[in-house]
Every structure is written in C-alpha cells, then in structure tokens.
Chains A and B, each alone.
Chain A
Amino acid sequence: MNKVIVGGGQGFWGDSNDAAIHMVKKSNINYMACDYLAELTLSIMERQKLKNPERGYAGDFIGLLDQCGKEAFDRKIRIISNAGGMNIEGAVNAIRQVAERQGMHGYKIGYVQGDDMKSQIPELLRQGVDFKNIDDVGDFKDIQGDILNANVYFGHEPIVECLEGGADVTVTGRAADSALFLAPCVHELGWRADDWENLSRGIMAGHLLECGGQGAGGNYQYDWRGVPDMDQLGFPIAEIGNDDFIVTKAPGCGGVICEQSVKEQFLYEVHDPANYITPDVNVDISHATLTQAGENRVRVGNVHGKPRPDTLKLSIGYHAGYKVVTYLSFAWPDAYEKAQYAAEILRKKMERKGMKYEDVNVSYVGLNALHLGVADMSGDLIKNQNEVVLRIAIRTKEKSEAAKIIPEISPLQLNGPPGASFFGGRSHVQEVIGLWPTLIPRDAVKLTSRIVEVK
C-alpha cells in the first residue's frame, strides 16, 4: 500500500455513533480509529470497575461494533480503539460476544496491556522515580495514599504488533490518542520507529482526527452558521502517504473540511508548536502549511519531527474530596438582584452551620458563568434580564460537609426572594478526582500485545 486512509470514528466517551457508521458504510477508509479517553476518563472507569468488576471500559464501543463491526469486517476495514480503558479483558470478552452473535467467524481481536502502572509505583519510588508533578504543583506524598489509577500514555508500537498479527479490531487502554492513528500508517507504509519526519505526519493526521466532529466543522468558531447539515456532521478522514497528507470526510454527510476548520483543530491542545511532544515523536508544526486541495479536501504540509523523549507521561488520578453544585432560577423583575440575595442567604447559612470548604464558586448562568470576570455585567441588559440562574458550587474535603448545603437550597423557593424556581432537581454530593501528570522512564513500561480469534 502506498497510501493508507484512516477515519476518526469517535471524539470522546459519549460521542455519537452516527458519523462512524456512515464512514464504515459510505467511505473508502482502510482503518477507523475511535478515541474514548479524555484526561479524567480512566479514573471514572476505575471507579466503575471497583463497583462492578465486569465494567471499567467504554461500553459504547461494544454498541458501535454491534452496529457496524460486521460491515467493517466484511469490507476489511480494521478498527482500533482505546475503549479498553481500565478493563481491557472485559472489553475483549464483550467484543467476542458481539462477534459470535453476528457470526463473524475468524474475526481477530487484538489487545494491548501494560499501561496500568498503579501496582508498580512503590517499586519505581524505590528505584528513584520522584513522580514530580509536571505542572509544578503539590507534593506527591500528599496524594500517594489516595491514588485511584496510574496509566501511562504509550505510543504506536504495541498496536502495530496487533495489526501485524492480523487484528481486525484492536483495543487498548491509555494509548496516546494520536498513536491509534499512527499505528496503521506505520503498519501499512513500513515507516521505521526513528523515521521522525514520517511519524510526525502520522501523528498530526491523528491529532486532526482524534476529536471526531471538531475536525470537520463541529465547535467551529470561524463560521458556525455556514457549516452544512450539522445534524448529520461527518467526522474527518486522513489520506496518508509518504508525502504530505490530506484531510477529508465521507461523501454524503454534513460538516466542512476547509483551511479554517482544519486550522482550529491543528493547534488545539498543542502548547509549543515547535515541540509538540508525543510518545512517538516530538512534532514541529511551527512552519506547517494548509492548502485547499478540492471540495472538503485540505492538504497538510511542512510538518517535521524530532526524536521522541526518553520519558513517558503517566497520568495519576486520585481522590481529592467532594463537591456539590446547586442551581436556583429567579424571574424578572430584578432577577439578578434576587439571585445575588439568595447567594448571600446561602453564604450566611453556610457560615452559621460552620461548613468547612476548600473552594466556593458563585456564578449566574446566562450572565457570567462561562466568561467569569471577562463577562459584560453592566447596564440595562443585566437589569432587565428575564431570568437568571444562580449557580453555587462548593468543594469540600469531607462528604458530610458538602451534604450540609443540600437541604438549604429548595427551601429558598418559599423562604427567599420572590419568583425562585428550583432548577435541575435535588443536588447530590459528587466525588472529586484530581489528576497528577508526571513523567516516568520509558524503559519502566512493559507492554504486551495479544490476539484472540473468534471461532
């Protein structure tokens, strides 16, 4: 193969399946990669697994395979996903059940294990790894007893092993998002593990695809009104060869692939454009070029690569207390003034109960809850507001402290300023999970790739 065509089927856990199914049915992709893991996702999955050992992976992926896995298998479209989360074997079992039910004989399921480093932390500490927070905050000793999960962001290599073994579907845990897309390029085009120039292009193709709809006109500031058929938004597809690469989308779906839409995703969640560090390569896009190469086709050029780092990012999730979020809406006239007064009442109640909290956030939805201090809060607009939603969020160390505020909210409908309406149902105390990003030596990580075949 001198060109590999890869589609981005999911942008996050909870994304729509429509674009992925359309892509499998209507496009000429060779591979589809589906990203399910945001920074926090693994901690949530670990919590699920603790409650029920059968869970802890993205069940949505099993549903997606149920809907289009058979067709992908028949059309020889291979699927790669990090949906395995904290329970890769559980995900593999669930996939096997789908494949058996649908009569997909000979279907090969590849999987990668070894990103879960939690049990290895004590040994790594003994070896001198300091787990220093890369954002320079806090002391590791303070969170060490509260760790929920510790997963390393790994690169393309173990996924390529699965592909070499003939895997029709490959599931991983915390593979770096873009590695899911790079792996088919390496497998099909035969790139070497130190071919930084080519690897950097595969990574950037993945970067443009890994957020699903955001790569094709979703969350698009340049001209959101001009995006065709957003109700059936397609997701991006990359055509990657041994030169520049093309971003496009499947025929017959909505969305837009143009210079501006690709640009917005290009620097998204990148920090220094000359040093975009991934487990596979250090990418330099500081001189990259984007050119329209046809309708819904954008050519990406001048992407360069430098050697990958010797360390890998380890993301540690830890229990960090509790929070409660409450909402009360107030009506015209003087809606904002009433909401402010209600907030004052709640603050006084918190004080009287001696409620201990770490942080409190008061905002007014519709006025300043998104733009905070940058919001325009002056003039007649605020005075004549039809309605204002008071939002109070409180974070505490102890669950019992957070619980103290809940019985105080709904009584404000009868005991506070007029026109109040309780919003969104009774609040509940939620657990707060903190994230501790750190670096560990690459050679401390041992990953294994395996394949099971459906008879």
Chain B
Amino acid sequence: MKEIYLKEIAHGRSGDKGDTSNVCVFARKPEYYAIIKREVTVEKVREYFGGMVKGSVTRYEVPSLNGFNFVMKHALGGGATLSLRLDSLGKSMGSAFMRMKIHVGDEEV
C-alpha cells in the first residue's frame, strides 16, 4: 500500500449554490473509478474537511462518466455574499478536495 494525493488519479471542478459547495470528481482512468469509490467515502470527506464543512455531505455516483458528485452543505462560510473567506465562491474547494490523501495498492496505480 502507498499513500497518494487524490489528484494523482482524479480531476474535477467545484461550484457553489448559496452555502452549498459541489465538487465533481472524475477518475483519470476508468480503472481508478473503483479506487475512488472505495477510498473517497462520505465519512472520509466529512473528516477531511473538518470545520470547513459544517453541514451534510452527499455522494452521488455517475458510473457512465466514471465520476462522482459530492454535495457539501454549509461549506462556504455562509455562501458567496455572507462569507468572509477569500474564496467566497469555493472555486478552490475542488483543489482542496484533490489534496486529500488516499491509500492505494502498489499494483493499483
């Protein structure tokens, strides 16, 4: 087993709606889809973001695109207008997500 950044096997983009952040995550190769499904669980995402995401985390699976959509509520410090964060729109939430460390088998990646 080895530890890698999620960015090694995935890419995606973050968007906002009010105080909700969505990060879509796609496997860089089809065979990585199962790894992401196994490693990037709702529990792990909630723990990873800690106090940054104050509401629920939901994971939607879109296997035909080898992708997932993570929807995180109360995640932008109040939303674009009320938020005091530099990145009030959460444009960098996607890259923050990709910084998550995951475990993969030596043969897997």
- Would you call the interface of chain B mostly helix, strand, loop, or mixed? mixed
A434 to B18, CA, bound (A): 9
Name the one of B24, B51, B73, B85 contacting A266, with C-beta atoms under 8 angstroms.
B24
A58 to B54, CA, bound (A): 35
- Chain A residue at minimum C-beta to C-beta distance from B73: A135
User: In this assembly, does B35 line the interface, its C-beta being within 8 Å of a C-beta of chain A?
Assistant: no
Q: A219-B13, A260-B11, A372-B52 are in contact. Are A135 and B20 (CB under 8 A)?
A: yes
Q: A273-B60, A393-B84, A394-B84 are in contact. Are A371 and B22 (CB under 8 A)?
A: no
Residues from chain A with a CB closer than 8 A to the CB of B51 are: 373
User: In this assembly, does B71 line the interface, its C-beta being within 8 Å of a C-beta of chain A?
Assistant: yes
Q: Which of the four size classes fits the interface of chain B?
A: 35 or more
Q: Are B65 and A435 in contact (CB under 8 A)?
A: no
Q: Are B64 and A437 in contact (CB under 8 A)?
A: no
Residues from chain B with a CB closer than 8 A to the CB of A373 are: 49-52
Q: Mark A151-173, 1 if CB is under 8 A from B, else 0.
A: 00000000000000000000000
Q: A39-B80, A260-B26, A320-B81 are in contact. Are A369 and B87 (CB under 8 A)?
A: yes
Residues from chain A with a CB closer than 8 A to the CB of B4 are: none
- Chain B residue at minimum C-beta to C-beta distance from A134: B18
A393–chain B nearest beta-carbon distance, Å: 4
Q: Are A264 and B80 in contact (CB under 8 A)?
A: no
A204–chain B nearest beta-carbon distance, Å: 12
A133–chain B nearest beta-carbon distance, Å: 9
A433 to B49, CA, bound (A): 27
Residues from chain A with a CB closer than 8 A to the CB of B50 are: 373-374
Name the one of A269, A285, A288, A374 contacting B48, with C-beta atoms under 8 angstroms.
A374
27 A-B residue pairs with Cβ-Cβ distance under 8 Å, sorted by A, are A135-B20, A219-B13, A219-B91, A222-B26, A264-B11, A264-B26, A267-B62, A267-B69, A269-B22, A271-B22, A271-B71, A272-B69, A285-B62, A289-B65, A359-B78, A361-B84, A363-B85, A369-B87, A370-B95, A371-B95, A374-B48, A374-B52, A391-B86, A395-B82, A432-B82, A435-B18, A435-B80
